[in-house]
Amino acid sequence: MQKILIANRGEIAVRIIRACRELGVSPIAVYSECDRTALHVRFADEAYAIGPSAPRESYLRIDALIDVAKRSGADGVHPGYGFLAENEDFAAAVRDAGLTFIGPTPEAIETMGSKTAARTAARRAGVPVVPGTEDPFAPDVPDAEIAKAAAAIGYPLLVKAVAGGGGKGMRTVTDPADLANAVRAARSEAGAAFGDAAVYLERRLTRPRHIEVQLLGDAHGTVLPFVERECSIQRRHQKVVEETPSLAVSPGLRAAMTSAAASVAKAVGYTNAGTIEFLLDEDGRFYFLEMNTRLQVEHPITEMVTGVDLVRWQIRIARGEKLDIDPAQLLTPRGHAIECRIYAEDPDNNFLPSPGRIQQLRVPAGPGIRDDSGATAGLDVPIFYDPMISKLIAWAEDRPLAISRMRRALGEYLVTGIKTTVPFFSWLLAQPEFADGRFHTTYLDEVLQARNGRPFVDVPPETEDLAAIAAAMEAVLSPSALVADASGASTASVTARRWRARARAEGLR
C-alpha cells in the first residue's frame, strides 16, 4: 500500500497519519464542513471534503468515502474507530472497490458484531459466556415469551441490543413487572442508534470488573493475545479510565483469559486488530462479553507496556505480512500505564457537552507522559461528534508512580474556552478506592450519585492562604488599607474575602 484513506477524524485520524508517515505511506484525509481546518486535515498529504457537518451526511456515507478513495488513488482504507469501523457493509464496499480494508473481513465483523452470534462463537470455542438467551428477540416476539426466558435466567438481568454498544439499547431490570417497558425502551433506542431493534437477555453480574484482551491476527493463521487491560472505571457504561495490567488478574488468570481470547478469534478466522471483552466476577470467574472488531480507544496503554505499535501492525498485516513478535513480550508487561479520556464536558453540570472554541491549550509533557489529541488552540470543538478531545496516558515502572505521574500531568493540563473533565480526573485519582484498586463497573456511578452534584473543582486550603497573603500585600500598599466598610470590616479583610472567592470560582490549585 502506498496511499491510505483515513475514514475518520480527530485524534485517531492524527494517530493513523503518524503511523503512515513512519511506514512511508501517504495519508489521505476526509473532512466535513466543520472540520475544514482540523488538525488531521493539516497533517495529511491530501484532504477531501465529504459533506456537511452531520455524521450521516459525511463520515457515515459509504458512497462518498469510496468515491474519495478512488479519486485520490488510495489503495487502502483505515476506518479508525467509531463511525463505520465495525460496519460490515463498509468493509465489503472497500473490498468490492478493489481496495484493502485495514481491519477484519466483512464476515468476521458481521459475526462478532452481533452479540448473540458472538456469544455462540465463544461457546463453540469452549469459552464461558454470561448466562442469557441464545437467540435474539425480534420486535414481533410477544412479551409473554420474553418474560418466560427472563424467569429462567433470573433477576436482576439486562436487556441488551444485539447490535449495540456503549450502553445504548441497554436496560437493567430488577423487577419482573418492569421487563416489558424495559424491552420496549431498549428496542426503540437500539433501532434509532443501530438500525436494528432486536434485543436479548443476559444475567446482570453483581459488581463485576471489565477486563479486555487485545489481539492481533494475521492472514497466515497466527493470533497473538496481549496483556489484559482493566476498563472497570465507567460512567453509564462508557469507559473513562483504562489501565494495564489489572490488579485483579493473577499470572494464572492472565494465561487463562488470553488463551480464551485467542481461541475465540481463531474460531472465526479473525485477522488484524481486535479486542475480546470479559466480565470478571467477585469469585474470579471470567465470562465472554463481546468482541470489538476494530482498534480500541485505549490501545495506547497496551503500546506503552509492550513496546508494540498496534496501528503500524494493522497496516503491516493488511499488507500481508506475518506477525513476528515474541508472544512472551506481549504477555509480560513492562511497567504500568493509565489512560484518561479528556472530554469537552462540564463535570460540574452532569457532564453535559461543552462545545466551543479552545482559546488556550497547554499539553502536559515530561517523563512517561503521552497525549494523543486532535485539538489545537483556536479550533472549535463541534457539537456533532463525540466530545473527546484527547487521551492522556501516563506510564511508569509501577502503578503508584503511574498514578502520581498522571496526577502531575493533569495539573499541567491547561484548556480554556471550554469545560473539560480534567478536574474530575484529578478528583478520581485521589480517591482511596482507585489507589487500592477496589472498584468495579458500577463503582463510579455509585460514588458520583453519593456526591450529589458537589463540584469537582475544590480549592485546597493553601491556595486560600496565598489569596489572603496577596490581599494583605495589596492592603499594605494601598492608602485605604485601614478604611472600614459599612459592616465594620477593613479594606484588607474585604479584599482577602474577594481573593478567596475568586480562587474558588476559578478553581485555582
Per-residue pLDDT of the chain (509 residues; tens, 9 = 90+): 999 999 999 999 999 999 999 999 999 999 999 999 999 999 999 999 999 999 999 999 999 999 999 999 999 999 999 999 999 999 999 999 999 999 999 999 999 999 899 999 999 999 999 989 988 898 889 999 999 999 999 999 999 998 877 778 999 999 999 999 999 999 999 988 888 899 999 999 999 999 999 999 999 999 999 999 999 999 999 999 999 999 999 999 999 999 999 999 999 999 999 999 999 999 999 999 999 999 999 999 999 999 999 999 999 999 999 999 999 999 999 999 999 999 999 999 999 999 999 999 999 999 999 999 999 999 999 999 999 999 999 999 999 999 999 999 999 999 999 999 999 999 999 999 999 999 999 999 999 999 988 999 744 444 444 544 554 555 555 544 444 444 444 444 444 445 444 444 444 33
**Which residue out of 294, 341, 405, 500 is catalytically annotated?**
294
Total residues found in the chain within this entry: 509
pLDDT of residue 119: 93
DSSP state of 65: H
* Residues 69 and 2: beta-carbon distance below 8 Å: no
CB atoms within 10 A of CB 112: 25
At a CB cut-off of 8 Å and minimum separation 6, what does 449 contact?
Answer: none
In this structure, the dihedral spanned by the alpha carbons of residues 135, 141, 143 and 149, taken in order and rounded to 10 degrees, is -20
Distance from C-alpha of 369 to C-alpha of 408, rounded to nearest angstrom? 10
Distance from C-alpha of 235 to C-alpha of 281, rounded to nearest angstrom? 19
CATH number of 131-203: 3.30.1490.20
At a CB cut-off of 8 Å and minimum separation 6, what does 198 contact?
Answer: 136, 137, 138, 139, 161, 162, 163, 187, 190
The angle formed by the CA atoms of residues 2, 5 and 8, to the nearest 5 degrees, is 150
State which CATH number among 2.60.40.10, 3.30.70.2610, 3.40.50.300, 3.30.470.20 fits the domain covering 341-430: 3.30.470.20
Please identify which residue in the block is written with the cell numbers 472600614. 484
pLDDT of residue 469: 55
Tell me the domain boundaries of the chain: 3-102, 131-203, 341-430, 461-506
pLDDT of residue 192: 87
Distance from C-alpha of 465 to C-alpha of 461, rounded to nearest angstrom? 6
pLDDT of residue 168: 84
Which CATH fold topology does 3-102 show?
Rossmann fold (3.40.50)
Of the candidates 7, 4, 1, 5, the one whose C-alpha atom is nearest the C-alpha of residue 79 is: 7
| Full DSSP string of 393-447 | EEEESSHHHHHHHHHHHHHH-EEESS--SHHHHHHHTTSHHHHHT---TTHHHHH
pLDDT of residue 482: 43
In this structure, the dihedral spanned by the alpha carbons of residues 302, 305, 307 and 311, taken in order and rounded to 10 degrees, is 10
DSSP state of 132: B
At a CB cut-off of 8 Å and minimum separation 6, what does 334 contact?
Answer: 305, 306, 307
Buried b (16+ CB within 10 A) or exposed e, 32-56: bebbeebbbbebbebbbebbebebe
CATH topology match: 131-203 vs 341-430: no
Tally helices (H) and strands (E) across the chain.
18, 23
Look up 184 and say whether it is catalytic.
no
pLDDT of residue 217: 98
pLDDT of residue 474: 54
Distance from C-alpha of 408 to C-alpha of 367, rounded to nearest angstrom? 11
Q: pTM score, two decimals?
A: 0.85
Distance from C-alpha of 294 to C-alpha of 386, rounded to nearest angstrom? 17
The separation between CA 124 and the C-alpha centre of its own chain, rounded to angstroms, equals 29
